Amino acid sequence: MTEPERPACVLVAVQLPDVDDTQHAADLAELGRLCATLGLDVVATITQRRPNLAHTAVLGEGKLGELAALTGGSGHVGSTAPQRKDKARLRRQAEEGDHPSDDDVDEDDEPSGSGTPRRKPTVVVVDHELTPSQIRNLERATSAEVMDRTGVIVEIFHRHAKTREARLQVEIARLTYVAPRMRESGGGAERQAGRGAGESNLELDRRKVRDRIAELREELAAVQRDQDQRRQNRRQARRVALVGYTNAGKSSLMRALTGSDVLVADKLFATLDTTVRALHPEVKPRVLVSDTVGFIQKLPHDLVASFKSTLDEAHEASLLLYVVDASDPTHEHQLEVTREVLAEIGADAIPSKLVLNKCDCLDDLSRAALRAKHPRAILLSARVPADVARLRQILVDFFDEGAEEVELVVPYGKQSLVAQIHERARVLSETWDEAGAHLLVRAQPVELDKLRSLLSR
């Protein structure tokens, strides 16, 4: 059974003066991967250099016409008001042709370089956040569905959310995005009878969306209270959070470190739900590792706000592992985006280590260059067991820094405390005599004080 053909789409981007060619190409490549994750097949690309986005339809008239030629649209924004047919005007336009004005075409316009697509695109994806009017204008000019970057990301989140918390978070972000873009669906001047009289259909629909968002936020608050309680119970534990750009290999590293069966997929935002597992082979006290939602450039603020609970795992961790795909040419920029998002949630002051993942995809010269640029970074591949074992030992050593070795004597009358000592400290040796159990332990001073307090009661 063959898979259905994926909808064809064309990418649209304006290169602004503050964006260089390298970053512009990286942004387009990332947008292409977002479209692939959403199930769209990129068949063409339209780009234009401009000092700013055109207020009406993002592109100048010339590029808009080029885009319309690909999608089968008219290339004209037109008006939403019905127009009287003027045969003389239509005949004159046909004879003279329709040329863009010089004012609207940038002197640096370049051909898109994508050639003639093998099939007509039905979706236009713009690498900018669009206003509702810009979306409507582009749809009229291209006769295709138009999505902006934020809309694509929101839709991907909507499809990948699995747990109740993630679904609530994504639905809030989706409705917040959709509400201002809702359109009148016929009879826009109609008024509602009875309750809510004086509101148009559109106003009533928007009010229903606002009410639904309020309900979802109440549900999410209840779920997050349970999550906060779980985090409270783990507060004394040693916790490591994997953070980084989407598809940097965090889930692969999580599976390798903990032996868990978390989802691993070569897709953007494959992981939206926080997973917490113990480091494997297990150490005492346990080290908990959490996988978090990936970041991306221009991550919509509504999604950052909605996923605050998920990001709290990073905020409350003892150690952050910044996981970076070292094989990606834009990995330095991705690391910068990660740091910006963590600073936004106040997690930039937490101790951290840089993990340059997927180094098995690099040659010796590239690895040497990375070591020179990031001498304190950990170069590895999540697919190489020896690399994972080395990282595991680094984590154990990190939590052992500042630990002290002492001998605790547990009298026979308090043997129930032996199990607690094994949970809260690393027991190096254990002997028995007439006084009770003699345990040589290694633990942080704070934990040792707690254990001594329990033994003295």
CA torsion, ordered 33, 37, 43, 46, to nearest 10 deg? -50
Name the DSSP class of 7: P
What's the pLDDT at 172? 86
For residue 133, which of 64, 239, 54 has the smallest C-alpha distance?
Answer: 54
Domain limits of the chain? 8-78+98-155, 161-185+196-228, 235-400, 404-456
Structure tokens at 126: 């713009």
For residue 292, which of 279, 280, 276 has the smallest C-alpha distance?
Answer: 276
Encoded amino acid at 311, one letter: L
Q: Which residues are CB-contacts of 353 (< 8 A; sequence separation ≥ 6)?
A: 319, 320, 321, 322, 376, 377, 378, 394, 398
How many Å apart are CA 188 and CA 214, to the nearest integer?
A: 26
- Helices marked H in 290-444: 301-306, 308-315, 331-344, 364-373, 385-400, 416-424
Surface-to-core class of residue 127, CB atoms within 10 Å of its CB (0-12 exposed, 13-18 middle, 19+ buried): buried
Surface-to-core class of residue 151, CB atoms within 10 Å of its CB (0-12 exposed, 13-18 middle, 19+ buried): buried
- The radius of gyration computed from the CA coordinates of the chain, to the nearest angstrom, equals 29
β-pairing, 426-433 vs 404-410, is: unpaired
How many Å apart are CA 303 and CA 294, to the nearest integer?
A: 11
Nearest 5°: CA angle at 326, between 324 and 332?
70
Structure tokens at 449: 């004080």
Query: How many Cα atoms sit within 13 Å of 116 on the Cβ side?
Result: 2
How many Å apart are CA 312 and CA 188, to the nearest integer?
A: 44
How many Å apart are CA 370 and CA 352, to the nearest integer?
A: 18
| Segments in the chain below pLDDT 70 | 1-3, 78-118, 183-199, 230-236, 261-274, 299-312
Length of the chain: 457
Name the DSSP class of 238: E
Architecture of domain 8-78+98-155: 3-Layer(aba) Sandwich (3.40)
Nearest 5°: CA angle at 301, between 298 and 306?
130
How many Å apart are CA 36 and CA 97, to the nearest integer?
A: 37
Surface-to-core class of residue 443, CB atoms within 10 Å of its CB (0-12 exposed, 13-18 middle, 19+ buried): buried
β-pairing, 287-291 vs 275-278, is: antiparallel
How many Å apart are CA 238 and CA 235, to the nearest integer?
A: 8
Structure tokens at 412: 């026979």
What's the pLDDT at 103? 40
Architecture of domain 404-456: 2-Layer Sandwich (3.30)
For residue 237, which of 323, 152, 351, 313 has the smallest C-alpha distance?
Answer: 313
Token pair 């509702």 in the structure block, residue: 132
Please report, for residues 112, 169, 174, 228, 316, the alpha-carbon distance to residue 232 in angstroms, rounded to integers and kept in the order given.
54, 21, 30, 6, 10
pLDDT tens sequence across 123-172: 999 999 888 889 999 999 999 999 999 888 888 888 877 778 778 888 88
- Same fold flag, 8-78+98-155 and 404-456: no
Architecture of domain 235-400: 3-Layer(aba) Sandwich (3.40)
pLDDT tens sequence across 194-214: 455 555 777 888 888 889 989
